[in-house]
Amino acid sequence: MTDFLESFTPGLPEQAVAAAPAPARRVWRHARVATLADTTGWGLIERGAIVTAGARIAWIGPESDLPALGKAAVEEHDLGGALLTPGLVDAHTHLVYGGDRAHEFELRLQGASYEDIARAGGGIRSTVAATRAASEDALFALAAGRLKTLRDGGVTTVEIKSGYGLSFEDEARCLRVARRLGRTGVGVRTTSLAAHALPPEFEGRADDYIAAVCDWLPMWHAQGLVDAVDAFCERIAFSTAQVERVFATAQSLGLPVKLHAEQLSDSGGAELAARFQALSCDHLEYLGAAGIAAMRAAGTVAMLLPGAYHFLRETQLPPVAALREAGVAMAVSTDHNPGTSPTLSLALMIHLACVDFRLTPEEAVRGATVNAARALGLADRGALAVDRRADFAVWDLEHPRELAYWFGHPACRATILGAT
Ligand code: DI6
Ligand code: FE
């Protein structure tokens, strides 16, 4: 076993192994580990230990079986019996924007609807104006603060969408900010959501805007800014025909797609997205049987966003029982954005997914780890096993079901990110 650990050099081609310095070994011991490594169950290891080599897990198991590491171990950490889980994955956020929409929140509490406010020129468009007015450094500082809060709450990988720039340069700025955030430690996947809303300069010309987005996408992609492509398919946003053009462009670039679908009405978005083998369909409160069948056939993840459901005082529940019955994987994310989900606690979303959407605690925690990673097309994280990324969250809790039980106060003691 020691030999194996000595020679473990993840991710390097064979010729490089001899020349490269051995990655640093760290040992994490005396933890109650929830691996989530099997398809069901928490995968609990009562008194567990993990050995990491650089950014990867080299060994995981009961501490009593821990191999002798000798000088190979550079650091040992006694976690004092704390709970250790895979780092949480927040697979749907709109983290980069200027301003806030607290005033609209007050208007909605007085009876205005989200759609009324959007049609009157508020909503997404007001955030677009604030985002365009902010410098790239200011956007970075704002988003970095939000990312730190997510990380302090257990998140080690986050998806970040554009969608508040809505011009070639403003979208590129937001994506650059997201890429820059990815160099601060937390894993970042970027998504172009240029087809989020119609910018004012394209008023009455939605098809022209979609044509422009299809022209811009290859250029953002060539600049290395885009990992996936999203759109908002809704009567207040874009039609299935318009989204289809965006998806066809994404497909021609080899980029995976995902969709804000059936959030406010059943627009047939999920079926369209499934035809493009979408990674996920997101929101889904108004999802019908045909959409579920299409998602099942395509292996598309159902991304549930209880923060937006709560904040919009929605009453239509996503069809969780039918999704479960169909075997569609369910994920849970914050949907952090200033208009419909201004939260930075993924643990709180796990709680709401159970109380409001009736997920089991295990489903909700899987939703924020292994299934969220799947929704990003990432097979190297979300569960703890040899060769996976060494991204952990350490909790002042005894059992992982408590991630769903406590709400509104942080129990996360630390996040541990790969080699950092
Ligand atoms: N659905 C949402 O919940 C967010 N975007 C979307 O397409 C809301 C965006 C906003 O209101 O700013
Ligand atoms: Fe969203």
In the chain, domain spans: 2-85+384-416, 89-375
CA 331 to chain centre: 9
Nearest alpha carbon, ligand 1 atom 10: 339
Residues 6+ apart with CB under 8 A from 3: none
Secondary structure letter of residue 341 according to DSSP = B
Output the CA 392–ligand 2 centroid distance in Å.
25
d(CA 37, CA 403): 18
Per-residue pLDDT tens for 17-39?
445 667 788 999 999 999 999 99
Q: Does the CA dihedral 300-306-307-310 come out positive or negative?
A: positive
d(CA 198, CA 194): 9
pLDDT (0 to 100) of residue 13: 38
CA dist 12 → 7, 52, 299 (Å): 12, 16, 31
- Under CATH, which number does the domain 2-85+384-416 receive? 2.30.40.10
* Cβ–Cβ < 8 Å for 378, 370: no
CA dist 299 → 223, 251, 279, 286, 324 (Å): 30, 17, 8, 19, 13
CA 73 to chain centre: 33
CA 232 to chain centre: 17
Pairing of strands 412-416, 392-395: antiparallel
- pTM for the whole structure: 0.94
Per-residue pLDDT tens for 319-373?
999 999 999 999 999 999 999 999 999 999 999 999 999 999 999 999 999 999 9
Output the CA 21–ligand 1 centroid distance in Å.
46
Which among 76, 56, 68 is positioned nearest to 1, based on CA atoms?
68
Residues 6+ apart with CB under 8 A from 2: 67, 68, 69, 70, 72
pLDDT higher at 23 or 312: 312
Q: Which ligand 1 atom is at minimum distance from the Cα of 234?
A: 7
pLDDT (0 to 100) of residue 20: 60
State the burial class of residue 236 (Cβ atoms within 10 Å of its Cβ: 0-12, 13-18, 19+). Answer: middle
Secondary structure letter of residue 17 according to DSSP = H
Average pLDDT over residues 228-233: 97
Output the CA 94–ligand 2 centroid distance in Å.
6
Q: Is the pLDDT of residue 71 over 90?
A: no
Indicate the top mutation candidate among 119, 246, 340, 343 to test ligand 1's pocket, ranked by most ligand atoms within 8 A of CB: 340
Output the CA 207–ligand 1 centroid distance in Å.
20
d(CA 178, CA 189): 8
Of 3.20.20.140, 3.30.460.80, 3.30.930.10, 3.40.50.720, which CATH number belongs to 89-375?
3.20.20.140
pLDDT (0 to 100) of residue 19: 54
d(CA 313, CA 301): 24
Average pLDDT over residues 378-398: 97
* Cβ–Cβ < 8 Å for 260, 231: yes
Average pLDDT over residues 275-303: 98
Q: Is the pLDDT of residue 406 over 80?
A: yes
Per-residue pLDDT tens for 129-181?
999 999 999 999 999 999 999 999 999 999 999 999 999 999 999 999 999 99
Residue with tokens 């704002």: 142
Residue with tokens 């410098």: 135
pLDDT (0 to 100) of residue 4: 33
Nearest alpha carbon, ligand 1 atom 1: 260
Output the CA 388–ligand 2 centroid distance in Å.
28
d(CA 5, CA 206): 57
Nearest alpha carbon, ligand 1 atom 4: 340
Amino acid at site 192 = S
Instruction: Give CA torsion, residues 183, 189, 194, 199, to 10 deg.
Output: -50
Indicate the top mutation candidate among 101, 108, 196, 341 to test ligand 1's pocket, ranked by most ligand atoms within 8 A of CB: 196
Indicate the top mutation candidate among 96, 124, 174 to test ligand 1's pocket, ranked by most ligand atoms within 8 A of CB: 124
pLDDT (0 to 100) of residue 51: 95
Q: Which ligand 1 atom is at minimum distance from the Cα of 196?
A: 7
**With pLDDT > 70 as the criterion, what percentage of the chain qualifies?**
94
Within 121-280, residue ranges assigned H as helices are 124-133, 136-152, 168-181, 206-222, 240-252, 269-275
Which among 207, 209, 245, 249 is positioned nearest to 226, based on CA atoms?
249
pLDDT (0 to 100) of residue 118: 86
d(CA 26, CA 75): 5
Residue 258's H or E segment, with its range, is: strand 258-261
Q: Which ligand 1 atom is at minimum distance from the Cα of 123?
A: 11
Q: Is the pLDDT of residue 14 over 70?
A: no
pLDDT (0 to 100) of residue 121: 81
Please state the length of the chain.
420
d(CA 58, CA 77): 16
pLDDT (0 to 100) of residue 257: 98
* Cβ–Cβ < 8 Å for 285, 313: no
Nearest ligand to the CA atom of 303: 2
Per-residue pLDDT tens for 37-61?
999 999 999 999 999 999 999 999 9
Which among 151, 156, 173 is positioned nearest to 164, based on CA atoms?
173
pLDDT (0 to 100) of residue 15: 39
Output the CA 335–ligand 2 centroid distance in Å.
5
Instruction: Give CA torsion, residues 396, 398, 403, 408, to 10 deg.
Output: -50
Around ligand 1, the residues with Cβ closer than 6 Å are: 123-124, 127, 196, 232, 260, 263, 308, 335, 337-340
First CA to last CA distance, the chain: 25
Output the CA 142–ligand 1 centroid distance in Å.
18
pLDDT (0 to 100) of residue 419: 55
